[in-house]
Amino acid sequence: MLEGFHRPTTPREAAQMKERLGSVAFYLGGGTELNSREQWPPPRHLIDLAGLGAGAMEFREEAWFLGSGCTLQAVLESAGAPGFLRVGCGQQVNRNLRNASTLGGRIAGRRVDSGVVPALVAADALLEVVFPDGHREMGIQQYRESDRRGLILKIRVPKDASRRIALRKVARSCNDLPTVVAAVGLTREGDRVGGVVAAVLGFGLGLTRLGELESCLEGRRLASDEEILRLAVSGVEPASDFRGSSDYKRFLVGELVRQCLHAAFEGKGRVAA
């Protein structure tokens, strides 16, 4: 049963409310997570973020600054938003959900079915996070794995005209949530690659950076398909469920990452500028 509905006037006030009310309080952005039957325990206090101006988008020469309250649909319809992120937002096929779901909610809700999250990781995006005692900049994976999770205020996406980002997904049907999503970002100098970031997200998999693949490819020629497939699944052990076995998901990880690497290397990925 809901006991309180709170309307802070500043991000820091919102963070202080959350700390004071504890685990029974939740931030309210688009509401798609809080209204889900999967939300348990149900919230007893809601902290409304509508008055904090978190839905703004700002495009500067060096980076995009996207408010955590930007909906997926708003990003998808914005001609100035990064192309790879628009692709990621479009992977949520239900327009009603895109109209309500926010970038901040996709990240903070620890969703495992969103192309937005691995796309931002591949772009080296950083979060501006508000805590009761001040602001802090964090990486997305660092934030999702942290025990102390503040209020996401903005997402900073660096612009780099030499960087390519490619995304791929597999779902059981065109309307289903994706079983696995992969994203790769890189730069190319001749026949060598640099700045490689590879991330996968999925059911029974969570958000996973493919560190061995990244380090082995850095500054080298693109490896053979066999080597890419081996490196991509190294240390990846997804859980089996009704969407597929662990072996099947490992196969998807390897194949989607292979496709992303080739797409980005061949210039078919979206430019991060």
Domain that holds residue 169: 161-272
**Shared domain check, 198 and 214:** yes
pTM for the model: 0.91
Task: Supply the CATH number for residue 102's domain.
Answer: 3.30.465.10
Query: pLDDT tens, 232-273?
Result: 999 899 999 999 999 999 999 999 999 999 999 998 755 554
Is the pLDDT reported for residue 31 higher than 80?
no
Task: Supply the CATH number for residue 207's domain.
Answer: 3.30.390.50
**Shared domain check, 165 and 151:** no
Structural domains of the chain, count: 2
pLDDT of residue 158: 94
| DSSP collapsed to 3 states, the chain | CCCEEECCCCHHHHHHHHHHHHHHEEEECCCCCCCCCCCCCCCCEEEECHHHCCCCEEECCCEEEEECCCEHHHHHHCCCCCHHHHHHHHCCCCHHHHHHCEHHHHHHCCCCCCCHHHHHHHCCCEEEEEECCEEEEEEHHHHHHCCCCCEEEEEEEECEEEEEEEEEEEECCCCCCEEEEEEEEEEEECCEEEEEEEEEEECCCEEEECHHHHHHHCCCECCCHHHHHHHHCCCCCCCCECCECHHHHHHHHHHHHHHHHHHHHCCCCEEEC
Query: pLDDT tens, 90-108?
Result: 888 888 888 989 999 999 8
Query: pLDDT tens, 54-101?
Result: 889 999 989 999 999 999 999 999 989 989 999 999 888 888 888 989
Out of 107, 128, 158, a domain closes at 158
Is the pLDDT reported for residue 113 higher than 90?
no
Query: pLDDT tens, 142-163?
Result: 998 888 789 999 999 999 888 9
